[in-house]
Amino acid sequence: MLIDAMRIVARESGFTLVEHKLGFTAYRPNDDRYLLFCLSTGEWAIYGAATAIEVAKGSGIASLVAIARQYFDLPAETTEAVQRQYAA
């Protein structure tokens, strides 16, 4: 499922996940740079943790992976594995 791929990206980027009915919210303890919100519909958004200003948003795993590599230092190995497993 798409939401599972999004969880992998968040966890591999060092986020702690808080699950809720619509998807999950992710944050990194002791890091006030970004918050990640992912919905089970495949939509996602990144906000500045200190300002709550939207930094990026999109839909689907490909766009999330591209942005995660830029903002969260997502390892290339994880990027490739997620894209292979969840290619649509």
The reported pTM is 0.85
Give the model's pLDDT for residue 88: 52
1-55 pLDDT per residue, tens: 789 989 998 998 899 999 999 999 999 988 889 999 999 999 999 999 889 999 9
Residues 10, 53, 50, 3, Cα dihedral to 10°: -20
Is there a contact between 66 and 80 (Cβ–Cβ < 8 Å)? Answer: no
Give the model's pLDDT for residue 75: 81
CA distance 67 to 13: 11
Is there a contact between 25 and 36 (Cβ–Cβ < 8 Å)? Answer: yes
Q: Find the distance separating the first CA and the last CA of the chain, reported in whole Å.
A: 10
Pairing of the two strands 43-48 and 23-28 = unpaired
